[in-house]
Structure 1
């Protein structure tokens, strides 16, 4: 086995993945270490990235924001991914629970004739005149969600007992996730043909059904009609900025991990533009499907849309099931819908796990890039994440889930990482150097404005949004009714700081290990790594030969 990244070939040349200590040691390791792997074809890569960036956020977060607004960096990102692995897959457990309850003649959330229903339950199959006689009624869909699925307690202070049904659903989700990625890109590339395409079919079906419901026009008008006065509100811009981070999976390392399995001369610029349009287009179309349903619900309940619109799981497990129940052959459509939810979340989930595992394997190749080691690492990550996720399946688990969702992978954390990433790319490594690297890979220079975005616009926007999010911070509430205790918010901030603190801690660690005056040590920290091409090194750094060849890396690139 040679000493190059498999398939990293461009213009007839191969490029070393990293400098090695010596050739003999490398040849000895090559007899034991396995190849890193590579996408079999371009479609597998595109679908994998699409599956990662097009997820549940397109269905339950983007449309809500439209209503609301009137229309070690590496270590930090991986800590965020770890926290995401703990709680994101819980949504799949809920979806599996709904799916299994859909295999019945009458959907259990479509009526009030169940043991978990209360006297105030409002059966939406009744005619409107009967419904209007009910005061302070609760929809049967909401009661199924809160009293059957969650069995929610009165607060995070009362965690309650574990719900074994949901625990089994979570176990099933993790088993599927494991076997989707246990062989790396060889298995992932095949799975995404289903997980990344089937949700589009169901989204189109739900859109057609949604626009045919009474009240759908009002909902769509509310979705499309802009409230220009809201543009003066900084909160609108903060929501828009954080939505971009959530939707495009920026600063998590997931896209970097997927891209690392491409050939060297893959057209990353074209892929980026195309997938951005695909992602935004999906969110836009999903908005039509959702607001047509919200308009129907608002007309049925005779309340403003603002009272039925919400973000997060409530939208996926209340509004959509309600719409599905109104269709002919409701159980069939319910099964299709929740399969769509599962597939939307599954590919995003296993890409997050793949990102974490890829980082660990690349950091310690001599340990993990051996027979069955990678599979065992994935198994360990899945088991540990499953055990942590069980706390979110207790009677008070929803409150814990909200803590993770609000703090652990919040816009504040992602923005903090983004600030340092953009500064490092634009000013430390150098925007011109990064621009030259892309040109060398794809054969032409990208749009010139992008370079100035790296230098000025993106860092400025990230800093402004980050500061504003801190200024406008409000303590977490659940369902606009329950206010978390002070210690609950404290736990949330600890989750947020667990990722952000990695950057200053790593800076302090490196400053303490480098020799020289404080000024010299800081100067060395803001210089690119000596293993990079010579032209991007600091002037005070000596050229360093790569022991695998007779030339420097810069010379091999020329």
Structure 2
């Protein structure tokens, strides 16, 4: 007999035809029995094929039902992750942003801060004006945006703060997250002092004329011959050195209490309240900057300052320091390695697409820096015309740093005593005080107040400018304090001490601790303590932490796994550009920054003032406090891991599964299901009706 494959339909037709023809054969019973015996094997084959086909059909239908059921469960589980995910330790619901725009605004507020107003223009000034913009924008693209994107992915996928996220990603380097929290907390202490000074200027801006206004030929102390004198002798009441604090400045003390209280009020109710606050605090500074720029455009000489800002000195591009400054500004401004990006993104919904937020925040931050440069340099051009000097001389005219000799008659000065009791032994309008204008906060608190005094309606612009600085400081302070708060709440301590589960209590503890550490900065030696803390908690510490962070995430955790995390959240893998930056460009740039920072390291100083040995030791203790957690974390992980030393090392670089990993795996059940439909169709074709006819 010839052998061929029959379909299910052919088999049914054969059976029906056989039944119809059964009575018309004209054969005897014996002949029919013989014929039935001959056809029996074929009939059994037909029935078997029909049974197989029926089973395959039921399997296919069951697989489809199972797949639909799995996707239904996946949808519910995804909703569960987004809305009701529980914390690992304290079991309380994880907060999420009420609206997507709140995350974007808070990130912009955290990134756009006082550094955009003074540090960026100052670095432009030092680096040849517009020449600085070229390395700055290049570093933004190949280093800033990729690493910012990386930290957003870490926070959104792990849904934890910096310390706990790193303990999951790479247990060997879990200390990186703790070091980041320590650094961020120390910076919040010094950052709050900038808000104190801005608030001091804001209060005194309601005077007409402004207190720091001086006549061109005046040299009397009562007129405070320059903005530089006012900042150092009225605001700071600066003593000769850090070893001579000379008591507390009680007006600054009161402002310190007020600023920390303001931070507490805005944070203790959680991100739902903070998300509403930033609608105003983030947008308001842009209106002030725009108003200042419009006003400056009508001032004589404004274009000369803008031209110095945008026209590059191409020779400066050969200076490695310019490129390192550009990369450092990107890190400082975007908050990379501070932990702020990770903690803010941990409040995102799991399926949020973070790339759009990353691009908006990154470009908004850089655009604000450049916009601020136009505001600052247009004012400098106007001031240069008034003084008959070149623009490049304005911010360095106080380079003759004659040390002032202060002879107070009381332990501390009040506002009413400053004028009568402060004696300055120095001559010339711009002698005295050491920091040099344009360095650090000097550009904001020394140079720009002088520019404002030359404007029409000077008190109005002064109030607006320093009000803007307060809001810029608040936005950044929210993020830095939140890092420390969530470190406590996400830790084991919250499970052991129920009080630490209440955010209001934890925020109060963090703010009170920051207040205590800020007390030395409201003494008459406060500027020296400020410089000491700021230098040792950011210069070397930041690059050191960034190096280990990039090493742990990009090389040990791995770009493939990081890309898979993005795919799980958004359904798409990150672009090739980001993967190349994570693999090679960003780690190499961070390594170069670390080497250059160590080779070109300069001890802390404030102008020409040299810190005593005990202060230098104190500064290095601050640095050690920030970075000691990295080696301690390595030692602890290797000591507590099981197995041989080699096995411990291998285990220590294996990432931990997030708490919601079981749910995550079910969200993509379609990929994990066997291709049942194809198997069923294959069974229908190959095992259908193969009979010998």
Query: Which TM bucket (shorter chain)?
Result: 0.7 to 0.9
1:525 corresponds to 2:625: no
Q: Give the superposition deviation at 1:439.
A: 2.3
Correspondences of 1:321-340 after superposition (within 5 Å): 321-340=449-468
Question: 1:83 — aligned with what?
Answer: 186
Cα separation, 2, equivalents of 1:338 and 1:18: 42
Question: 1:428 — aligned with what?
Answer: 556
Question: 2:598 — aligned with what?
Answer: 470
If asked which structure has higher relative contact order (CA below 8 Å, sep 6+), I would say: 2
1:189-219 superposed Cα distances (whole Å, 9 cap, x missing partner): 1110111010000011111222322222221
Measured on the aligned residues, the alpha-carbon RMSD in Å equals 2.6
Cα separation, 2, equivalents of 1:446 and 1:367: 40
Q: Give the superposition deviation at 1:527.
A: 1.7
Question: 1:170 — aligned with what?
Answer: 256
Cα separation, 2, equivalents of 1:369 and 1:313: 41
Cα separation, 2, equivalents of 1:175 and 1:246: 25
Correspondences of 1:298-377 after superposition (within 5 Å): 298-309=384-395, 310-364=438-492, 365-366=494-495, 373-377=502-506
Name the SS of the counterpart of 2:471 in structure 1: helix
Question: 2:314 — aligned with what?
Answer: 228
Is residue 171–residue 386 contact of structure 1 (8 Å, CA) maintained in 2? yes
Is residue 44–residue 189 contact of structure 1 (8 Å, CA) maintained in 2? yes
Question: 1:510 — aligned with what?
Answer: 637
Is residue 367–residue 373 contact of structure 1 (8 Å, CA) maintained in 2? no
1:403 corresponds to 2:543: no
Correspondences of 1:51-200 after superposition (within 5 Å): 51-71=109-129, 72-111=175-214, 119=219, 139-200=225-286
1:205-238 superposed Cα distances (whole Å, 9 cap, x missing partner): 1112223222222211111111211111111111
Cα separation, 1, equivalents of 2:353 and 2:229: 50
Farther-moved stretch of structure 1 (259-268 vs 487-496): 487-496
Question: 1:23 — aligned with what?
Answer: none
Q: Give the superposition deviation at 1:77.
A: 0.4
Question: 1:282 — aligned with what?
Answer: 368
Cα separation, 1, equivalents of 2:205 and 2:109: 25
Q: 2:574 aligns with which of 446, 450, 460?
A: 446
1:216 corresponds to 2:302: yes
Question: Could you list the runs of 5+ residues in structure 1 that have no partner in the other structure?
Answer: 1-7, 21-25, 124-137, 533-545
Q: Give the superposition deviation at 1:111.
A: 2.9
1:484 corresponds to 2:570: no
Cα separation, 2, equivalents of 1:192 and 1:493: 36
Runs of 4+ in 1 over 6 A off after TM superposition: 368-372
Q: Give the superposition deviation at 1:517.
A: 2.2
Cα separation, 2, equivalents of 1:392 and 1:323: 27
Is residue 228–residue 447 contact of structure 2 (8 Å, CA) maintained in 1? no
The 3 A distance-change label for structure 1 pair 508 and 139 is same
Is residue 435–residue 445 contact of structure 1 (8 Å, CA) maintained in 2? yes
Q: 2:625 aligns with which of 498, 504, 513?
A: 498
The 3 A distance-change label for structure 1 pair 296 and 356 is same
Question: Could you list the runs of 5+ residues in structure 2 that have no partner in the other structure?
Answer: 1-74, 130-174, 396-437, 670-693
Is residue 257–residue 515 contact of structure 2 (8 Å, CA) maintained in 1? yes
Is residue 339–residue 483 contact of structure 2 (8 Å, CA) maintained in 1? yes
Q: 1:388 aligns with which of 510, 517, 525?
A: 517
Name the SS of the counterpart of 1:14 in structure 2: helix
Is residue 193–residue 518 contact of structure 2 (8 Å, CA) maintained in 1? yes
Name the SS of the counterpart of 2:81 in structure 1: strand
The 3 A distance-change label for structure 1 pair 145 and 112 is farther
The 3 A distance-change label for structure 1 pair 160 and 554 is same
The 3 A distance-change label for structure 1 pair 34 and 11 is closer
Name the SS of the counterpart of 1:516 in structure 2: coil
Cα separation, 2, equivalents of 1:368 and 1:301: 63
Cα separation, 2, equivalents of 1:222 and 1:122: 35
Question: 1:538 — aligned with what?
Answer: none
Is residue 90–residue 392 contact of structure 1 (8 Å, CA) maintained in 2? yes
Cα separation, 1, equivalents of 2:280 and 2:209: 29
Is residue 86–residue 94 contact of structure 2 (8 Å, CA) maintained in 1? no
1:14 corresponds to 2:143: no
The 3 A distance-change label for structure 1 pair 263 and 142 is same
TM-score of the pair, normalised by structure 1: 0.85
1:43 corresponds to 2:115: no
Is residue 146–residue 152 contact of structure 1 (8 Å, CA) maintained in 2? yes
Question: 1:4 — aligned with what?
Answer: none
Q: Give the superposition deviation at 1:370.
A: 6.8
Cα separation, 2, equivalents of 1:192 and 1:248: 17
The number of residue pairs the alignment matches comes to 506
The 3 A distance-change label for structure 1 pair 414 and 17 is farther
TM-score of the pair, normalised by structure 2: 0.69
Is residue 422–residue 455 contact of structure 1 (8 Å, CA) maintained in 2? no
The 3 A distance-change label for structure 1 pair 84 and 552 is same
Is residue 264–residue 511 contact of structure 2 (8 Å, CA) maintained in 1? yes
Is residue 39–residue 189 contact of structure 1 (8 Å, CA) maintained in 2? yes
Q: Give the superposition deviation at 1:85.
A: 1.9
Q: Give the superposition deviation at 1:34.
A: 4.1
Name the SS of the counterpart of 1:317 in structure 2: helix
Question: 1:130 — aligned with what?
Answer: none
